Amino acid sequence: MALTIHPKLLLLIAFTASSFCYGAVHSTNEDSLSPTRDQSITGIEVVNQLSKRHYLDIRLNDELSSRFFDQYLNNLDANRSIFLKQDIDEFEQYRFHLDDSLKRGNLSPGYHIFNRYRQRLTARLETAVKTLSQQIDDFDFSKDEQIKLDRKDSPWPNSSTEAEDLWRKNIKNSVLNLRIAGKETEKIKELLSKRYKNQLSRIKQLNNEDVFQLYINSLTQLYDPHTSYLSPRSSENFNINMSLKLEGIGAVLQREDDHTKVVRLVHAGPADKSGQLQPADRIIGVGQGKTGAIEDVIGWRLDEVVQLIRGKKNTTVRLEIIPVDAKSDVNTKIIHIVRDEVKLEEQSAKKEIIEVLDNKNQLHKVGIIDVPAFYIDFEALRRRDPNYKSTTRDVHRLLNELMEEGVSGIIIDLRDNGGGSLKEANELTGLFIDYGPTVQIRHASERIFREQKLSSTPYYDGPLLVLINRLSASASEIFAGAMQDYQRAIIVGGQSFGKGTVQSLSPLRQGQLKLTESKFYRISGDSTQHRGVVPDINFPRLYNVERVGESALDDALEWDQINSVRHRKYFDIPNVLAGLQKNHTKRTDIDPDFQFLKDQIQFKKENGNKDFVSLNESIRKNKSAHTKQQALTLENKRRKAKGLDLLASIEDLNKDDAEKTEKDKEDQKNKDDNDDIYLSEAGHILVDAIKLFRQEMASNP
């Protein structure tokens, strides 16, 4: 099985600018952290394994040392608000020497930089706690000033005075967000004071294991985002995630700035079933039970937030989130999720049938097979259990059932399928081709291996469509790519994730190294890495490809090509794409839900990616009101087109959501599943394709 886990899950990302206050640095020996002998030996082991086993032949030299230096500073102070320029000038002595130091097991430069970081941050947070109440009282929200949100390319402050002004603006922005959200001044003081005290406590609790992991991963991530050092504690969490036996909510999380962001939901997990949490939602608070206080988790470490969310089966966790479609960070909501264990049987492929009318009002039955993951029960397979569970076995059974029910064609739904077993991707491909190669794998040694269906056996040869999106990754991309290369299926949806690398775990003196050793290539010779699978027909994108996917990750391996392997072409799909695209465009141009989706995407584009935010309360409130009015206009445009009652205000829609019972929410999720506009349109495309294929075959007997 190819190991896949989001790289930021494995990094200790330190606190960001909105949590910092400036003051004098008081260095004491007892506050300083230093490396252990085991860490020194482990550092040497990491360097050796990277140089000998990583897919890319990257030398740890002065050039990489310079990038290592910059990456470490960025991981500590991404918003360039903790260190002063004088600190950076002092650290410059290390820029071209980190490589030589690490090869000798000398970790002192990394610890020196970190100790300065912790000293400054501790002093600044202590000052923040002492002066917060008075600062808030002194803020003038009628003043016309603004704050730069992303300072990653800005210079470090030249002086304490300049740094203090950055801190003041960050505090003011936090207060303004809470004021607009309706919080009273005393509550704001209480909340922010608690937040900074918590962060102060956490920074004091950091130990040399935390420093070592951050320092080493500042190097490994320069090789690629999936290569990382796992400390003993991180190794334990990684093994729990891979076993899928953890009792929790079934969500993959990552750290993004001050927030904990949802990367994806585990299919059939508690969060997925609830229908309340979505990828790219940000978690800012966690509460235990139905009435427990919501703990503010802004600025917390990822592992600490995960620990709060985890819990015993059948217990409730409450999450305060900023939804992905929120108009601003002040638009939060609280959701309830009952913890449970994600069961293998609930990860299984499932079938359904939809009925599609063609342009002559003839009804067609289309079979859907939803494949949420490429799974296999290896333990049962090793026991030689004849009924062991796997993706291919389940899909084969469902295919036979759908054929007996008289469907005209099949859709394989791979949306949100993050991958899994390479063996299953290969064998699933074999259900739809006569025989032949399925994927090529190039090792760091440049040797190329091929997975394939070796012998001709019965396969489904009817009309086929594969539906993908940005969260379809790894094994999903292998299957979809093979279907596209064989011209066996029409691929529709969104560009896939682009995760085309293979990792392995190796033990170290302390912890483990997860290292990229191989790369996937399609039978056409194209890599699935970085670019992913590009659909034959694109649907409007729900996910911003600049923020979600392999290409959005720093130092991701590039797309490239190797030689193709001979393979059969089952249909001349390029010959029918123009007709399919024409019909698709004609339908979606008049479909209210597709138009609403396109309007929403444009709306987010216009209202996102702001470099600066005003700290004037009147301007911010007017902007918020304007944004809400835009959202209301789009919603009522959709409602009018569908013959629904119009809303008087956007709050009416939010009020309806808030008043729904748990049963209402479950009913709504089921309704949303049935009203899946992507799946419905995929059905129409497949029906169109059936007719065009018949015409093509008739003209080419």
Task: Give catalytic residue positions.
Answer: 474, 485, 499
- SS3 labels along 128-163: HHHHHHHHHHHCCCCCCCEEECCCCCCCCCCCHHHH
Tell me the β-bridge partners of 614. 146
Nearest partner of 529 among 550, 552, 548, judged by Cα: 550
Strands 409-413 and 363-370: parallel
Which DSSP category does 313 fall into?
Answer: T
| Termini Cα distance of the chain | 43
d(C-alpha 371, C-alpha 267), whole Å: 10
Cα(8)–Cα(2) distance, rounded to whole angstroms?
18
Give the integer Cα–Cα distance in Å for 253 and 278.
11
Residue located via tokens 């190294």? 513
Cα within 13 Å of Cα(236), Cβ side: 5
Name 506's Cβ contacts closer than 8 Å, sequence gap at least 6: 49, 53, 512, 513, 515
DSSP summary character for residue 625 = H
* Contact criterion met (CB below 8 Å) for 54 and 444: yes
Give SS3 for 253: strand
Compute φ and ψ for 332, nearest 5 degrees: -105, 165
Sequential DSSP letters for 573-586? HHHHHHHHHHHHHH
Can you tell me the distance from the alpha carbon of 272 to that of 275, in angstroms, rounded to the nearest whole number?
6
> Is the separation of the CB atoms in 305 and 252 below 8 Å?
no
DSSP-assigned letters across all residues of 264-296: EE-TTSHHHHHT---TT-EEEEEEETTTSPPEE
455 close to 495: Cβ distance less than 8 angstroms? no
Rounded to whole angstroms, how far apart are CA atoms 476 and 543? 17
Kindly give the pairing relationship between strand 464-468 and strand 612-614.
unpaired
As separate numbers, helices (DSSP H) first and strands (DSSP E) second, the chain gives: 21, 21
| The two structure tokens encoding residue 295 | 């703990």
